[in-house]
Amino acid sequence: NRAILYDAMGNQRVTFKDVAGLDEAKEEVAEIVEFLKNPKKFTRLGGKLPKGVLLVGPPGTGKTLLAKAVAGEAGVPFFSISGSDFVEMFVGVGAARVRDLFRQAKEKAPCIIFIDEIDAIGRSRGRGIMMGANDERENTLNQLLVEMDGFNTDKGVIIMAATNRPDVLDPALLRPGRFDRQILIDKPDRRERLEIFKVHTRDLILADDVDLEVLAGQTPGFAGAEIANVCNEAALLAARKGKEAVEMEDFEQAIDRVIAGLEKKNKIISPEE
């Protein structure tokens, strides 16, 4: 089983400090953190918490990071699974995995279940591509719906899922009692890019000429993942040149590389679209 348990004491712990920008999204999930810390406090008057929260936004914008941070802030285990794991699976395996995941999560509650790329299992049913593969995906999706319906949030299990294609999701997933809350995770604006640069240069040795504001201005359209990449590339470039600190020119070179990489990817991807 590939579900990963992020121990509250382990290295993998992520907190809101690691998530730059996304202030509104953090505010929205703060309630879930409170709930996971103390489930009974919320439900004592008979109210019900959301079971599922859908994080919607382009790749690399911090959806996984935010979900991990919710678990980290609350100090609860994080179980994760990716929709793309279920593609090309043998009959019955996908559904069994989902069942197993929920069983483990219920044992370890309160906790978070995170489903990345939920669109890979959660596409509208009956849009058949190839029959066989599609049937199995439907089985997996049906199992997910059964599991979501089959527990109460008072157990303290919250399901977070991420997608950049909310338009293809099966409407059944979005019904009340399932993923009835959506949080938009957009690409960062200039101010947020600055915050992301700050987070990802925390552990670097920077030369005096490095101006993060300028770098934020030079990276329109970059997602957090690309900025993290730039910072790491810059540090490697500087080290290779034998420098004692990472300089502005290293960052600028790294930005050029990342842009070149993105352009190449677009060239490969766009003819199919």
Task: Give the integer Cα–Cα distance in Å for 213 and 229.
Answer: 17
Cβ closest to ligand ATP, residue 83 vs residue 94 = 83
Q: Least distance from C-beta 52 to ligand ATP, angstroms?
A: 17
State yes or no: 63 annotated in a binding site: yes
Judge contact between 133 and 88, C-beta under 8 A: yes
**CA-angle at 263, arms to 240 and 19, nearest 5°:** 70
The answer to whether 133 touches 139, Cβ cutoff 8 Å, is: no
Pick 116 or 250: Cβ nearer ligand ATP: 116
Q: Which is nearer to ligand ATP, 63 or 178 (CB)?
A: 63
- Beta carbons of 107 and 62 less than 8 angstroms apart: no
CB hemisphere CA count around 113 (13 angstroms): 29
Of 112 and 196, nearer to ligand ATP (C-beta) is: 196
C-beta of 87 vs 199, nearer to ligand ATP:
199
59 belongs to an annotated ligand binding site: yes
Beta bridge partners of 251: none
126 is in an annotated binding site: no
Residues interacting with ligand ATP, by CB under 6 A?
19-22, 59-65, 116, 162, 164, 196, 199, 224-225, 228
| Longest Cα–Cα distance in the chain | 63
Nearest approach, Cβ of residue 188 and ligand ATP (Å): 6
Q: CB-wise, 61 or 153, nearer to ligand ATP?
A: 61
Least Å distance, CB 67 to ligand ATP, is: 8
To the question of whether residue 57 is assigned a binding role by annotation, the answer is yes
CB atoms within 10 A of CB 88: 11
* Closest distance to ligand ATP from the beta carbon of 57 (Å): 6
Q: How far is the CB of 41 from ligand ATP (least distance, A)?
A: 29
Least gap, CB of 63 to ligand ATP (angstroms): 3
* Smallest separation (angstroms) from ligand ATP to the CB of 68: 8
10 is in an annotated binding site: no
The residue whose Cβ lies closest to ligand ATP is: 224
Comparing CB distances to ligand ATP, the nearer of 203 and 244 is 203
Give whole-number Cα distances, 5 to 33, 48, 75, 80, 126, in Å. Answer: 17, 26, 12, 8, 34
Backbone angles phi, psi at 129, to 5 degrees: -100, -90
Q: Has 64 been labeled as part of a binding site?
A: yes
List binding-site positions for ATP. Answer: 57-64
Binding site feature residues: 57-64
